[in-house]
């Protein structure tokens, strides 16, 4: 994918989209995962980057965060491109570069002045089997390796989950009564086959149309549903489970996120865990998220749309699901900038055609992903559903401290 750094194109792209930037798909492989094949990539393209890179099991959305995939990581991997139509040519420039150049004109002065970047991204991750029990560091621990901490959340879109995969259950936390010494022993045994760390955890069945909140410091082993995952802009993690689905996890991933002078210190790995959060006996009550209407459902239906909060327990990001009913035209206002990904239907959004592709080739450009500037969001985005039968459904991901999130 050829990315241009040509000066002046960012402002032209902003003007072309009237405050809405069209984005290109961003595919990311993971060497330790087997693709679930539900993210609409062509069947021939899941291993297009080569077997040594692993299969493509993620699509990153509205990302200014580079993927950290080791020495083979591709240039610009994980970074979302903006599509600018320059005459008959479609030119790509990085969303990160557009935001760096135009600053608050894209994400709003509130976010730019505080973060100097777009401080979140979302993704689909899509695996045939479960992922290992792992943890994301908090800001304090991540700072030791020059990164930010990583809260994240899950939502399971019905459109991508006709099949739940091999193990649609996610382990969260550590069973109450477990001691730090027991978990430490599992970590010491990491290179001895199965370290059996999930013996000390509980799994919950995943349901399409619902979600979970995952703060930093919480052990979790994501199940095999295709997952929409808004998160803080960081790629910090450490794998605490040595064997999953009969696949061995390399020991280097246990120490991923550990400062070099602490590698080999198992007590340091225990300190990464928020112990009280992990042994909370009420994880279902405190971390599960059912959709919550943004306002009265009756009022919204009268205006031909329905909008729900789907990720709302973190102050680092939030997410909504917007449904526009068949044949309807609506104008939707938000107080903050956001990215969108189309899940169903087709029509118009502002000046752009929007549509939900059934199949995407690697490198193909689409009309299913966009970034809405703060100004455009506040003025209102006009959406027309061109179908008389099919709703438009889109997922919307927002940055920290969304002014509209009053639950």
pLDDT digits (tens, 9 = 90+) for 236-288: 999 999 999 888 999 999 999 999 999 999 999 999 999 999 999 999 999 99
pLDDT at 349 over 90: yes
- The average pLDDT across 219-243 equals 96
For 360, which DSSP code?
Answer: B
**Cα Rg of the chain, angstroms:** 21
Mean pLDDT of the chain: 97
The answer to whether 239 touches 134, Cβ cutoff 8 Å, is yes
Give percent of the chain with pLDDT exceeding 90: 94
Say what the pLDDT of residue 33 is. Answer: 86
- pLDDT-derived band at 406, boundaries 50, 70, 90: confident
Nearest 5°: the CA angle 267, 223, 407 is: 90
The answer to whether 211 touches 154, Cβ cutoff 8 Å, is yes
- pLDDT-derived band at 80, boundaries 50, 70, 90: very high
pLDDT at 224 over 80: yes
Q: Superfamily assignment of 292-398 in CATH?
A: Jelly Rolls (2.60.120.10)
Say what the pLDDT of residue 31 is. Answer: 83
The answer to whether 16 touches 93, Cβ cutoff 8 Å, is no
Q: What's phi and psi for 234, nearest 5 deg?
A: -160, 155
The owner of tokens 């969001």 is 377
CB atoms closer than 10 angstroms to residue 273: 23
- The average pLDDT across 331-342 equals 98
Sign of the alpha-carbon dihedral angle for 110, 115, 106, 159? negative
Say what the pLDDT of residue 295 is. Answer: 96
pTM, to two decimals: 0.97
Cα–Cα distance for residue pair 135/351, rounded to 1 Å: 42
Structure tokens at 93: 């420039």
Cα–Cα distance for residue pair 363/75, rounded to 1 Å: 14
Provide CATH 2.60.120.10 ranges for the chain.
26-289, 292-398
| 153 to 135, 198, 249: CA distances (angstroms) | 13, 20, 23
Say what the pLDDT of residue 39 is. Answer: 98
> 92 forms bridges with which residues in the sheet?
3, 83
Say what the pLDDT of residue 407 is. Answer: 78
Higher-scoring residue by pLDDT: 33, 217: 217
Sign of the alpha-carbon dihedral angle for 202, 208, 210, 214? positive
Burial class (CB in 10 A: 0-12, 13-18, 19+), 13: buried
Q: What are the E-state strand segments in 156-201?
A: 169-172
The owner of tokens 């792209």 is 13
- The average pLDDT across 141-152 equals 96
Torsion of CA 66, 317, 30, 275, to 10 degrees: 120
Nearest 5°: the CA angle 243, 235, 118 is: 155
Say what the pLDDT of residue 69 is. Answer: 84
- Sorted by sequence, the CB contacts under 8 Å of residue 44 that are 6+ apart come out as none
Say what the pLDDT of residue 283 is. Answer: 97
In a 3-state reduction of DSSP, which class is residue 52?
Answer: helix
pLDDT at 1 over 80: no
- pLDDT-derived band at 317, boundaries 50, 70, 90: very high
Strongest mean pLDDT among 28-32, 68-72, 167-171: 167-171
For 179, which DSSP code?
Answer: -
- pLDDT-derived band at 365, boundaries 50, 70, 90: very high
Sign of the alpha-carbon dihedral angle for 68, 215, 319, 406? negative
Supply the CATH classification number for the domain 26-289. 2.60.120.10
pLDDT at 102 over 80: yes
Structure tokens at 382: 């006009």
Say what the pLDDT of residue 5 is. Answer: 86
């Amino acid at each position: 994918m050829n990315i241009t750094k040509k000066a002046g194109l960012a402002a032209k792209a902003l003007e072309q989209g009237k405050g809405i930037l069209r984005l290109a798909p961003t595919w990311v492989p993971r060497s330790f995962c087997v693709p679930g094949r539900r993210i609409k990539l062509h069947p021939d393209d899941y291993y297009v980057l080569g077997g040594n890179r692993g299969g493509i099991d993620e699509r990153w959305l509205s990302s200014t965060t580079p993927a950290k995939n080791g020495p083979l990581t591709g240039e610009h991997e994980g970074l979302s491109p903006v599509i600018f139509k320059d005459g008959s040519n479609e030119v790509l420039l990085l969303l990160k570069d557009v935001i760096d150049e135009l600053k608050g004109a894209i994400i709003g002065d509130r976010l730019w002045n505080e973060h100097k970047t777009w401080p979140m991204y979302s993704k689909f991750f899509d695996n045939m089997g479960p992922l290992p029990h792992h943890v994301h560091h908090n800001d304090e621990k991540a700072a030791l390796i020059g990164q930010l901490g990583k809260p994240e959340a899950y939502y399971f879109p019905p459109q991508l989950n006709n099949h739940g995969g091999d193990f649609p259950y996610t382990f969260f936390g550590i069973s109450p009564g477990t001691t730090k010494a027991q978990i430490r022993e599992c970590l010491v045994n990491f290179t001895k086959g199965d370290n059996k760390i999930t013996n000390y955890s509980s799994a919950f069945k995943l349901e399409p149309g619902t979600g979970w909140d995952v703060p930093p410091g919480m052990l979790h082993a994501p199940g095999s549903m295709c997952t929409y995952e808004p998160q803080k802009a960081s790629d910090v993690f450490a794998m605490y489970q040595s064997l999953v689905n009969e696949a061995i996890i390399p020991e280097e991933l246990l120490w991923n996120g550990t400062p070099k002078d602490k590698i080999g210190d198992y007590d340091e790995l225990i300190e990464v865990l928020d112990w009280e959060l992990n042994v909370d006996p009420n994880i279902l009550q405190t971390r599960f998220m059912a959709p919550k209407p943004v306002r009265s459902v009756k009022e919204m239906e009268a205006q031909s749309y329905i909008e729900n909060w789907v990720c709302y327990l973190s102050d680092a990001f939030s997410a909504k699901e917007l449904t526009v009913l068949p044949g309807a035209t609506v104008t939707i206002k938000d107080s903050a900038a956001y990215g969108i990904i189309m899940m169903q239907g087709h029509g118009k959004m502002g000046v752009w055609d929007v549509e939900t592709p059934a199949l995407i080739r690697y490198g193909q450009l689409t009309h299913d992903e966009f970034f809405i500037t703060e100004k455009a969001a506040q003025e209102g985005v006009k959406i027309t559903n061109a179908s008389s039968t099919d709703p438009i459904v889109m997922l919307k991901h927002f940055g920290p401290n969304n002014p509209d999130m009053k639950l």
